[in-house]
Structure 1
Amino acid sequence: MMNNIAVIGSSGTIGGAFIRKLSELCPEAQISGFSRNKPSSTIANAKFYEIDYTNEESIANSAEIAAENAPLDLVIVATGILHNEAFMPEKSMKELSIAKFQEIILANTIFPALVAKHFLPKLAKDRRAVFAALSARVGSISDNQLGGWYSYRTSKAALNMIIKNLSIEMKMRYKQAIIVGLHPGTVDSRLSKPFQANVPAGKLFTADYAVAKMLEVINTLTPENSGKCYAWDGEEILA
């Protein structure tokens, strides 16, 4: 039973799908959604708040809001960046730049780490609780056969290491806590749009489908799974 849930990145394609599905599955739960801009939609048992991804005080305040009435049972970090109007993923080392690395790593690595810093201490101690951050299969070093995408791959590999570190630290005091990375597959969104032509048939998912599958994975996890990264189908993604 999940009574208190927080979703960070609630205005995004995947974050919004998490809010909708969790509201359906847990109608009695308190759901707090955090994003840079509050979505215009309303959901019966969800409240939405603004968060500044670049401001640690804002992240800390968001954790206080989420856990004001009860400890957290589930925290989902559904944020991330692959490209924007200024740059695309690198095809070769000639495209590396300080600016690109800084922006990608700030969004994909540093921000989730700071969310963990402030939200993990708000998890329930007396029962199972989950902290899950969106990672990616391309963050696996052992699985990398194609190269390219330097900054994005690096940011997700670093996130996976942070998840591992967090799991080790948390198990000393939060015996039932589970900290994992989740790979949603290729979701039909603005992030994947430029690359969808290369996606195999049947492997481009709607956000609702990917979220339903990831929640199925979350429901099967135990503390022994903490510190690992899992794909939407439950397969463990190795480092």
Structure 2
Amino acid sequence: MSGSAVIIGASGGIGGALHAALLDEGAFDTVHGFSRSGTGTDLTDEASIAAAAALVTRGPAPSLIIVATGILHESDRAPEKAMQELDPAWLARLFAVNTIGPALVAKHFLPLMPRTGRTVFAVLSARIGSIADNRLGGWYGYRASKAALNMMVRTLAIEERRRNDRSIVVALHPGTVDTALSRRFQASVTPGTLFDPDRAAVQLLDGIDGLKIPDSGKHFSWDGVEIAP
């Protein structure tokens, strides 16, 4: 496969594993890896996203872009267990990273993708962002920001289809992966369902390989099963 691939969030657990797997496969002429710590690409800073996109324009057009970023908690913040814990600043932070950031990546990177042929723009979402699947409540900000991300994906897919009728824009749930994002909550994970980043990356890339044009705008689990909105 010629052209280039782009990983946004290449210093994270999943993003780093995706970047390494794509380099190892050797299917692309160039594999770009962008991250806040590595290249100064910060999803809360649109100028840094635009600068990253400008770098990609110097080489082959990207036919695969994966946004492997997200935030669930920080040192002084945990997912809300009840409405009394809702805080506007924390909600804004979650939406800035989980929803607005990937949307801005799409704004600057989707126009770089070819206008013909199969292309894939994928963002890492989460099953917990499914409104239909919400049976436990709690985790208000993370749930809502991922649900909003899934709507962004659906809307982007419709617009991108007008530019390239073979484009695929999807949200992907990687499962529970052994990274800093999930470490606080791994005690409750069912045995056998906690993936190391390398395995998660291979599963995600296999799932991307299996995507069809009608899948654009949808949300899929790592095993290829569609997740209800």
Per the normalisation by structure 1, the TM-score is 0.93
Distance in 1, matches of 2:182 and 2:45, equals 27
Quote the sequence identity (%).
49
CA deviations 1:151-208 (Å, max 9, x no partner) are: 0000000000000000001111111110000000000011111110100010000011
Does structure 1 residue 224 correspond to structure 2 residue 214? yes
1:149 matched to which residue of 2?
Answer: 139
Distance change >3 Å, CA 2–CA 82, structure 1 → 2: farther
Does the Cα contact within 8 Å between 2:103 and 2:152 map onto a contact in 1? yes
Match for residue 123 of structure 1 among 113, 117, 125: 113
Does the Cα contact within 8 Å between 1:4 and 1:30 map onto a contact in 2? yes
CA deviations 1:23-60 (Å, max 9, x no partner) are: 1112552011111111xxxxxxxxxx331322212111
Superposed displacement of residue 118, structure 1? 0.5
2:18 matched to which residue of 1?
Answer: 18
Q: Matches of residues 1-239 of structure 1 in structure 2 within 5 Å?
A: 1-26=1-26, 28-38=28-38, 49-239=39-229
Runs of 5+ consecutive residues of structure 2 not aligned to the other structure: none
CA deviations 1:73-112 (Å, max 9, x no partner) are: 1001001000001200001101100011011110000000
Root mean square deviation, CA, Å? 1.0
Does the Cα contact within 8 Å between 1:23 and 1:29 map onto a contact in 2? no
Superposed displacement of residue 122, structure 1? 0.5
Superposed displacement of residue 13, structure 1? 0.4
Distance in 2, matches of 1:153 and 1:147, equals 9
SS at match of 1:237: coil
Residue-pair matches, total: 229
Structure number with higher helix proportion: 2
Code of the aligned partner of 2:82: S
Does the Cα contact within 8 Å between 1:137 and 1:231 map onto a contact in 2? yes
Higher relative contact order (CA closer than 8 Å, sequence separation 6+): 2
